[in-house]
Structure 1
Amino acid sequence: MRHVELKVSTASQGGHAVVSVYGEVDLYTAPRLQAELASLVRDGAGRVVVDLSGVEFCDSTGMNVLLSAMKRLREHGGTLELAAPRPAVRRILQVTGLDTVFSVHDALPALEGT
């Protein structure tokens, strides 16, 4: 089985954070994403946008990480949104019905309050 590395980077601006994810999110790589999202929750981020444009694959483990982060952010009055999912990831969101649970943007929204 090939092992694809997951890269996660965060850019924060005010109470907003953009988490850019590259690679495949699965059972082996999801803890990396989970740790990044958990630290944003701890730091009190108000709005977190997860940029999925670099994600080729996301399994149920990855979806659960995103869901639990969204729930924790909501408990603290924050939001978690998904941006620019590739067709394969968008299909998973639609099949699981999660496209109605998450706010999903076709492109990365501007962070500034416009």
Structure 2
Amino acid sequence: MNVSIEIKEKDNIFYVQLTGEIDAYTAPRVKEKLMEAAKGDSVKLNIDLSNVSYMDSTGLGVFVGVFKQLRANNGYMELTGMTERLQRLFDITGLADVMNINTEVEGRV
């Protein structure tokens, strides 16, 4: 399956809607788009994962990379709309303890 990436900017916050699967095949494209949005100082990303049906370790690596870039430049990332399955993946890896995760879908534009 493919992934669709929709990014909208409003009030200096980038709202990202991901749909589909994030795996070894689609992760490079997701990473490219998110890293592009995360460029600059104090960038804020709100990433909605409610329509992500599958994510593997490659996908997790994308979020770690974006998180590190944002953090280095005083940016902020919030993951929203995470399914129980994805939440468990972030919990098991310990990423839920470091990243801001909101299980509700908020801030859609």
Name the counterpart of 2:59: 62
What is the deviation of 1:14? 2.2
2:80–2:104 Cα contact (<8 Å) kept: yes
Name the counterpart of 2:70: 73
What is the deviation of 1:74? 1.1
1:17–1:45 Cα contact (<8 Å) kept: no
Distance 1:52 1:110 in 2: 12
What is the deviation of 1:44? 4.8
1:83 aligns with 2:106: no
Name the counterpart of 2:46: 49
User: Which 5+ residue runs of structure 2 have no aligned equivalent?
Assistant: none
Q: What TM-score, normalized to structure 1?
A: 0.87
Distance 1:53 1:34 in 2: 18
Q: What TM-score, normalized to structure 2?
A: 0.91
Identity percentage of aligned residues: 28
Larger Rg: 1
Distance 1:98 1:82 in 2: 11
1:10 aligns with 2:30: no
State the SS of the aligned residue for 1:63: helix
Which of 90, 96, 99 aligns to 1:99? It is 96
Name the counterpart of 2:22: 25
What is the deviation of 1:108? 3.0
Q: How many residues align?
A: 108
